[in-house]
Amino acid sequence: MCRGSEQEQNQPQLNDFGIGIDLGIKDFAICSNGNTYKNINKTNQVKKLQKKLKREQRSLSRKYEDYKKLNKNEREVATRQNIQKQKLKVQRLHHRLDNMRTDYINKVISELVKTKPMWITIEDLNVKGMMKNRRLSKAIAQQKFFEFRIKLQNKCNELGIELRVVNRFYPSSKTCHNCGCIKSDLKLSDRTYICPECGYIEDRDLNASLNLRDCQIYKIA
């Protein structure tokens, strides 16, 4: 009982508003409060590291191929050690990129909860299904959506913020935030939402985040 009371006392006073978050690939997160968090994988720093990683991976591949061509007498310990050194280079670059993406997620979550919203709403993304798209699977994996959700959930629980999860089939992008009309013919290439009923015009992703914020059918994580 004492521990629960102490935890409640340590929780901040929340504001009477919520935040809807639309996660994507073009930008990492578009929020209903107007904040947009860019895709870190499109930054020059990450791109340079990814190029370096490709070079080191190609070098490792060549070392393996050269090693296979040698006969048993030629396969010296020094050759195996060179391969091991190259493997460590590749592993370090993978680790560095992973840390950069994780640090970015932590930064986004920190900024979101800093505003002390009463609730945060996200969509229950079908990440496994999205990964089946060969063109997008790599980009989706790099965004680390699942890690973002778990860390956001933990932070919300810690601060007493309600984390709402909306069903993945909810048409957040196709629904007009102004009048509720559903634009069923909305294409992925349509970056601006134009309502055929009331003429409401808004950025597609911001419109989706506003709908998520105000959605009344959800589960609490």
pLDDT one digit per residue (tens) for the chain, 221 residues = 444 555 555 677 999 999 999 999 999 999 999 999 999 999 999 999 999 999 999 999 998 888 777 776 666 776 788 889 999 999 999 999 999 999 999 999 999 999 999 999 999 998 888 888 888 899 999 999 999 999 999 999 999 999 999 999 999 999 999 999 999 999 988 999 999 999 999 999 999 999 999 999 999 99
Which helix (DSSP H) or strand (DSSP E) does residue 213 occupy? helix 204-214
Long-range contacts of 88-92 (CB under 8 A, 24+ apart): 89/56, 89/60, 90/53, 90/56, 90/57, 90/60
Tokens of 193: 């939402």
H helix count then E strand count, the chain? 7, 8
Give the span between the Cα atoms of 143 and 45, in whole angstroms. 16
Counting every residue written for the chain, the total comes to 221
Cα 68 to the chain's mean position, in Å?
40
pLDDT at 134: 83
- Token pair of 43, please? 């930054």
Distance, in Å, from the CA atom of 104 to the CA atom of 108, rounded to the nearest integer, reads 6
Query: From CA 41, how far away is CA 24, in angstroms rounded?
Result: 12
Q: Three-state DSSP class for 134? A: coil
Q: Are 212 and 20 in contact (CB under 8 A)?
A: yes
Q: Quick one: pLDDT at residue 42?
A: 95
197, 174 contact by CB (below 8 A):
no
H/E segment holding residue 30:
strand 27-31
Question: How many other CB atoms are found less than 10 A from the CB of residue 4?
Answer: 8
Alpha-carbon gap, residue 109 to 147, rounded angstroms: 11
Instruction: Give the residue among 220, 212, 218 at the shortest CA–CA distance from 156.
Output: 220
